[in-house]
Amino acid sequence: MNPVDIAGLPVGEGHPPRIMGVLNMSVESNYGPSTWGDVEHAVEHAEEMAAEGADIIDVGLQSSNPKNPWQAVDTELERLERALEVLDAAEVDAVWSIETRYAEVADAALEGGFDMVNDVCGFADPDMPDVCAAHDAAVVKMASPPDIQSPGHLRSIDDCFAALARGGFTEKTIIDPAFGGWYDEKTYEDNWEMFRRLREFRAFNRPILTATNREDFLGDIADRPETEDQLAVSIAAATMEVERGADIVRTHDVPETADAVAVADFLGDRRAVESGPAAHDGDDEAGVHAAELTGVTPREVARNTLIREHDGVDPALAVTLTFAAGDLPEAAREELMAVGGEYGLLVAADDAGAVVSGDHVDAAGDDSEGGQGSSPAGEGTFVSGTLAAYEDALPELSGTPALEALTTTIREALERERL
């Protein structure tokens, strides 16, 4: 993803995922541990979060939870006065973010020292992009309808994708897919589906912020309906979010989330390279960024071709799916290999007569050096190929009962991965 600089803090490919700690200054916010009405305790909480690993402190001026009443711009401006007192008093080495839906509030906050804006209504206020650009400030655009009173009130991943695309971006826009509790519109199932498909949002080539901490759609999976019991499920989700492309993880639980994200980043598959300065339209400060996208699905390929011009190559020829099968009878294995070879599927099938011993494979019964602990070599069958190859081969394979489990799995994957 194209990196974004937030007051000297780089976010995006080539940089570690950042932790955004939550500091609510709205009396109606539902999660008590992150909510502070008075300046003194808000300062203490901000300093504590920064010490525990928060790279960004996100100050909320009203709740976006639909259970709570919507607040007009004047209320946010009044609360901003206290937020600016907190900013001035706190001694932290962190970026300050203001969560607001109003361009007027964003302008005043940025003028007063805030570094970035977290727009929970996704540019529903049409002046928001211009205000942020005028301050050269980063802005998070959350997927939302063009309604200042309805942050996040969307249902499907397609709705969220379209909302982010609507109205465009500034040069420093970070996207937020809008997970969460807008359950009149978005169900648990909708959130689960979007989580599984989070990588698709990489198509925008912009840093991604995720905010799933202590959400009920996670608690439901583990039968943890109460917010105070949802730390473990939130940590599990955070690790997967990083693996699937999150560059900022927003959380109420800074130290635990920071640890989990550090492990996920260190052991994960995020790979990127940035070249030295390169000339682009006379700008000798510009750099070229390249990243390997792991775990790419056919849907993600389709997303990219939908929002960009492309060379006309069929996406079915540009991405592979891989499957594993076990206990296939010898005749079924032979048929699978023959059909695979004909249609361009890579099939690696086990040989029941071979064993692995030491560093190499020998025929069964060969008492070679290193034979202690010998076991069947390469148990199971590995199949990999493009969508087009599977589609061509399936009619040939579908009539074989012993391959039914494999062909059913392949067919379901093809159906699931199409937009």
| 346 in any annotated domain | yes
Domain assignment present for 139: yes
Range of the domain at 159: 4-295
Residues 96 and 60 in one domain: yes
pLDDT of residue 377: 47
Q: Is residue 300 part of a domain?
A: no
In a shared domain, residues 93 and 121: yes
Query: Do 139 and 178 belong together in one domain?
Result: yes
With contact defined as beta carbons under 8 Å apart, do 20 and 251 qualify? yes
Structural domain includes residue 21:
yes
Whether 309 maps to a domain, the answer reads no
Same-domain check for residues 138 and 256: yes
264 lies in the same domain as 323: no
Count: domains in the chain = 2
Question: Is the dihedral angle over the CA atoms 99, 100, 106, 112 positive or is it negative?
Answer: negative
Name 167's Cβ contacts closer than 8 Å, sequence gap at least 6: 122, 123, 126, 129, 146
pLDDT one digit per residue (tens) for the chain, 419 residues: 579 999 999 999 889 999 999 999 887 665 555 556 689 989 999 999 999 999 999 999 998 877 777 889 999 999 999 999 999 999 999 999 999 999 999 999 999 999 999 999 999 999 999 999 999 999 999 999 999 998 988 999 999 999 999 999 999 999 999 998 765 678 999 999 999 999 999 999 999 999 999 999 999 999 999 999 999 999 999 999 999 999 999 999 999 999 999 999 999 876 666 655 544 444 545 566 677 888 888 889 989 988 888 898 888 888 899 999 988 999 999 999 999 999 999 999 876 444 333 344 444 444 444 444 444 445 789 999 999 999 999 999 998 999 999 999 999 999 887 75
Q: Of 295, 325, 344, which residue constitutes the final position of a domain?
A: 295
Using the 8-state DSSP alphabet, how is residue 283 labeled?
B
- Which CATH number is 102's domain given? 3.20.20.20
CA–CA gap between residue 175 and residue 198 (Å, rounded) = 12
| d(C-alpha 14, C-alpha 273), whole Å | 6
The per-residue b/e assignment along 157-177, b for 16 or more CB within 10 angstroms, e otherwise, is: bebbbebbeeeebbebbbbbb
Looking at the fold, whether 285 and 357 belong to one and the same domain comes out as no
Three state DSSP letters for 216-251: HHHHCCCCCCCHHHCHHHHHHHHHHHHHCCCCEEEE
Q: Given this model, what pLDDT does residue 148 score?
A: 92
Instruction: Provide the pLDDT for residue 274.
Output: 61
Q: Is residue 305 part of a domain?
A: no
Query: Helix 73-89 to helix 103-112 angle, to the nearest 10 degrees?
Result: 20
Q: Looking at the structure, do residues 289 and 329 belong to the same domain, yes or no?
A: no
368: number of Cβ within 10 Å: 13
53, HSE (Cβ side, Cα atoms, 13 Å): 19
Q: Structure pTM?
A: 0.87
CA R_g for the chain:
25
Q: Six-digit token pair at 104?
A: 């007027």
**Nearest C-alpha neighbor of 417 from the set 346, 307, 339, 322:** 322
Same-domain check for residues 359 and 244: no
The answer to whether 194 and 177 have CB atoms below 8 angstroms apart is yes
**292: how many CB neighbours lie within 10 A of its CB?**
11
Instruction: Let me know if residue 382 belongs to a domain.
Output: yes
The residue from 295, 323, 349 where one domain ends is 295
Q: Which tokens is 13 given?
A: 């490919």
Co-location of 290 and 325 in the same domain: no
Beta strands in 45-126 (DSSP E): 56-60, 95-99, 116-119
Residues 6+ apart with CB under 8 A from 61: 25, 26, 71, 75, 76, 79, 80, 83, 98, 99, 100, 105
Hey, what are 259's tokens? 């640890």
Does residue 15 sit in the same domain as residue 139? Answer: yes
Considering the domain architecture, whether residues 286 and 321 belong to the same structural domain is answered as no
82: closest CA among 72, 70, 94, 90?
A: 90
CA distances from 49 to 45, 248, 254, 256 (A): 6, 15, 6, 11
CB 61 within 8 A of CB 98: yes
d(CA 297, CA 217): 24
- Which amino acid, 164? L
276 shares a domain with 337: no
The answer to whether residue 303 sits within a structural domain is no
